Amino acid sequence: MYNYIIAAHGGADYSQSTDVLPSVTVAFYQPFGVTMDNQVGLDLQSAIANPEHPNAANVIHHNREKARWMGHQQGHSFPPGLNLSGEARTFKSGIVCANTHEVVMSLPPTTLITLSYAIRLIRSHADQTFTPGCSVLVHCLFCL
């Protein structure tokens, strides 16, 4: 399974839904409506991107997933839709492939995308970089 990290601000749109593509799983580390402390997000990002680090297992253990959306084999839609925007003061927002440390997309503060769009971008990147249809785990480190 290949890991991708989304670090951005987010907001729920309950009139929309989020499309999770086949073989994609999305992990959330905060309940909807609860912001994530920036240091927690940075610690989690480091632990996911560097799982061999001596403190990585401890960080992941103390910041467990709160929810998981799974696309299974056919894909699935989940309410709500999630809108993502960039942040420029404390951290750089975007999408990173944790396995290669490659920046897949930088997300400037003035840009707004949906989580569905981010998942499509990640699926495309994984298909081109690894194996078409490979299993992908998307770690959402953003405020909802």
DSSP 51-72: TTSTTHHHHHHHS--SEEEE-T
The model's pLDDT over 11-42, given as tens digits with 9 standing for 90+, comes to 889 999 999 999 999 999 988 778 888 888 88
- Split at pLDDT 50, 70, 90, the class of 144 is low
Give the pair of three-digit tokens for residue 2: 């290949």
- pLDDT for 131 beyond 80: yes
Residue 140: what are its φ and ψ, rounded to 5°?
-95, 105
The model's pLDDT over 41-88, given as tens digits with 9 standing for 90+, comes to 889 999 999 999 999 999 999 999 999 999 988 889 999 999 999 876
Residue 84 lies in a domain: yes
Residue 77 lies in a domain: yes
Q: How far apart are CA 144 and CA 141, in angstroms?
A: 9
Would you say 31 and 143 are in contact if contact means Cβ atoms under 8 Å apart? no
DSSP-assigned beta bridge partners for residue 7: 94, 141
Q: Residue range 114-140: average pLDDT?
A: 97
Residue 45 lies in a domain: no
pLDDT score for 50:
92
pLDDT score for 143:
61
CA distances from 29 to 7, 11, 62, 65, 69 (A): 12, 14, 11, 4, 12
The strand pair at 24-28 and 67-70 is best described as antiparallel
More confident call, 142 vs 74: 74
Q: How far apart are CA 113 and CA 110, in angstroms?
A: 10
Residue 73 lies in a domain: yes
The model's pLDDT over 1-13, given as tens digits with 9 standing for 90+, comes to 999 999 988 888 9
Residue 54 lies in a domain: no
State which amino acid sits at residue 61.
H
Beta-carbon neighbour count of residue 94 at 10 Å?
Answer: 20
Residue 16 lies in a domain: no
Give me the domain span that covers residue 119.
65-135
Residue 126 lies in a domain: yes
pLDDT score for 75:
86
pLDDT score for 27:
95
Residue 25 lies in a domain: no
Q: How many folded domains does the chain comprise? A: 1
